[in-house]
Amino acid sequence: MAVSLELVDALKRCLRGQGMTYRDLAAQMKMSEAAIKRMFSRRAMSLQRLEQICEVLDVGLAELSAEASRGRKPMAQLEAAQEQALVKEPALLMALFLTLNRWRQEDVLEHFGFTSAQWTGLLVKLDRLGIIELMPGNRTRTLTARNFRWRADGPMERYFRHTLLTDYFADAFDGEQDALLLLSGSLSIEGIKQLRQRLEEVAREFDALLARDATLPASERIGVSLVLAQKPWLLQLFNPYRRSRTG
């Protein structure tokens, strides 16, 4: 039985939404990348193949059908009001983090101190905010792109700078999974642009790894936060030695 073009297109959107490439999908399905590309480019696949891909993406056929009927692109950025709601309620922010990283309800209840009713309540709030779509059985469909970005100088970014950043750097980076590189120097404008491009490449690679490992059980994954930053900046302790440029 052939699958409709609308379902194939919806499947493409689900792939993009989870930040998964054709190469990632091919590895999960033990197929060649060329075969995966050919299948999507021709927009033709069997129902059995569709079900296999849905299993990899942890997406039900009912969810995929709903996505096909909507045909809307995932959000690349939240509204300021949505971010503010997350900042005001840390449990809600945590629920979004777990949902984006495809934690199953049973894993959430095992690892964190939520009751089933409390977890459902958080998912309902995220649904009402328009960040996720709550499905039967507390299954969720995220309405954001897998690699969505916080608003520049928005509520979440300000909360991170003023509150979370101190907490992040409070402890030593001396564990096996830790890394801290603090570099400084003088660059040309062109050099700064090239460095920014490389940081964006690292961010995309981080997103790709998240998508790849999202299918692993929660017990085999570790929460990781990556901070990438650059800006023209001089240590304040150097200021007394700078020559005044007035006059």
Q: 16 Cβ partners below 8 Å, 6+ apart?
A: 74, 145, 146
Q: What pLDDT is attached to residue 117?
A: 96
Residue 50, pLDDT > 60, answer yes
- The model carries a pTM of 0.65
pLDDT in tens, 238-247: 778 777 766 5
**So what's the pLDDT on residue 66?**
73
Q: What is the pLDDT of residue 72?
A: 59
pLDDT at 109 over 90: yes
pLDDT exceeds cutoff 80 at 74: no
Instruction: Please give the pLDDT value at position 1.
Output: 43
Inter-residue contact 138 to 119 (CB < 8 Å):
yes
What pLDDT sits at residue 214?
82
User: Do 50 and 11 contact (CB within 8 A), yes or no?
Assistant: yes
Share the mean pLDDT of the chain: 86
Span 33-42, mean pLDDT? Answer: 87
Closest of 153, 51, 69, 135 to residue 99, by C-alpha: 135
Whether 181 shows a pLDDT value over 50: the answer reads: yes
Tens digits of per-residue pLDDT, 197-234?
Answer: 999 999 989 988 888 888 788 889 998 999 999 998 87
Confidence (pLDDT) at 70: 65
Query: In the predicted model, what is the mean pLDDT of residues 129-144?
Result: 85
Neighbouring CB atoms inside 10 A of 125's CB total 19
Same fold, 5-70 and 75-145: no
What integer pLDDT is reported at residue 61 of this predicted model?
80
Given this model, what pLDDT does residue 38 score?
87
pLDDT at 189 over 90: yes
DSSP code of residue 204:
H
For the chain, the domains span 5-70, 75-145
Q: Is 7 exposed, middle or buried (0-12, 13-18, 19+ CB in 10 A)?
A: buried
C-alpha neighbours within 13 Å on the C-beta side of residue 40: 19
Mean pLDDT of 19-31: 89
Task: Return the half-sphere exposure (C-beta side, CA atoms, 13 A cut-off) of residue 245.
Answer: 2
Q: How far is CA 11 from CA 42, 51, 99, 184, 228, in A?
A: 13, 11, 19, 44, 31
Task: Say how many CA atoms lie within 13 Å of 191 toward its Cβ.
Answer: 7
Can you tell me the mean pLDDT for 27-52?
Answer: 86
pLDDT for residue 17 is more than 80: no
Domain 75-145 is found in CATH 3.10.50: no
Q: Given 1.10.260.40, 1.10.3720.10, 3.20.20.70, 3.40.50.300, which CATH number is that of 5-70?
A: 1.10.260.40
Residue (of 124, 8, 10, 141) closest to 73 by Cα position: 10
Q: Is the pLDDT of residue 4 over 80?
A: no
Has residue 47 got a pLDDT over 60?
Answer: yes
At 146-180, the pLDDT tens digits run 667 899 999 999 999 998 889 999 999 999 999 99
